[in-house]
Amino acid sequence: MILKSYIKSLFSSRTIWFWSVGFIIFWLFLGVFVFPQDINKSSFDIINYASLWYSLTSILSVAAIGVSISFSIYYSSSSLAYLFHNSKLSSYRYYLESSVATGLFFTGTGTVLMMFMALLFYIRFHVIVYPHIFWLALILFFSSGLFFYSLSAALVVIFNNWLGLKNINFVAFIPLFLGYGFGYSALYGSLPHWLLYSNFVSPYEYLYMMSFTGRVPFSNILNHASTHASILLCSVSVLIWMVIFIFAALLLIKSIKASYVEEARQI
């Protein structure tokens, strides 16, 4: 019941559609029509360039969804605290069904963005671009949606319960800030290798690129003279971080405290 209702609320929310699709389409237009002025017009280079924007916009899109999720959890904290203690609704069931719903939602919106990107690249370069390992792309859509849901839930409950959530606007945007920071760092290789593999954004970006091109990407994505990224390390890093945040979200949501929405104020 929760799963069906949560999916319906996600797909009917204009705010979430704006953040996950509308906001990202702006970056796609820039990536297709503004930035690639000096790109080689060969299909190989165009596909490589498209994979850059595919991976980056996928990360930014799912991170942007975390913004809406954060607001949703905060504004429903009082209801959730009451229901967990005075009804048959358990925190585990709520987390499981709402996180699965988020994963399914991003699988849908990620596919929409992928098709929209393919259309833009065809209009601009007359080359058809698409993920060569489509099943891996779908797995990444679902798992990254689940991951950023858990991250957003954990952050909001920590601030709400113990640190004082005086400015929900700042806390809600933390996943998006992390997406931008680590996402662009993987492109330019500005971080040490150990940090590129140990953060929870860059490994997803490498895996997204591999699902698109069917080839192992370079550790410095824009520098083809660099070494290839380790897909094994990326996969292990993603799994470890996902387990950490899933368990953290499960424990934290169970202890969520009621908050008064009127206390939230902008600084």
8 Å CB contact between 157 and 111: no
What pLDDT is recorded for position 267? 42
Cβ atoms of 187 and 56 closer than 8 Å: yes
Q: Nearest to residue 145, comparing CAs of 53, 38, 19?
A: 19
What is the structure's pLDDT at 106? 92
Could you tell me what percentage of the chain is helix, strand and coil, using 3-state DSSP and rounding each to the nearest 5?
Answer: 75, 0, 25
CA-CA distance, 44 to 131, in Å (whole number)?
A: 14
Q: pTM for the whole thing?
A: 0.88
Per-residue pLDDT of the chain (267 residues; tens, 9 = 90+): 678 888 888 888 888 888 788 888 888 888 888 876 666 667 777 888 888 888 988 998 888 888 788 778 888 888 888 888 888 888 898 999 989 999 999 999 999 999 999 999 899 888 888 899 999 999 999 999 999 999 988 888 888 887 766 667 778 788 888 888 887 777 666 677 788 888 888 899 899 999 999 888 877 766 665 678 889 999 999 999 999 999 999 999 988 887 765 555 444
- pLDDT of amino acid 264: 52
Residue 263 is predicted with a pLDDT of: 54
Per-residue model confidence (pLDDT) at position 40: 67
Cα–Cα distance, 56 to 23 (Å, whole number): 13
Position 49 scores a pLDDT of: 83
Q: What is the pLDDT of residue 107?
A: 93
Instruction: Please report, for residues 181, 187, 236, 240, 246, the alpha-carbon distance to residue 193 in angstroms, rounded to integers and kept in the order given.
Output: 15, 12, 15, 17, 25
- Name the token pair of 11: 């797909």
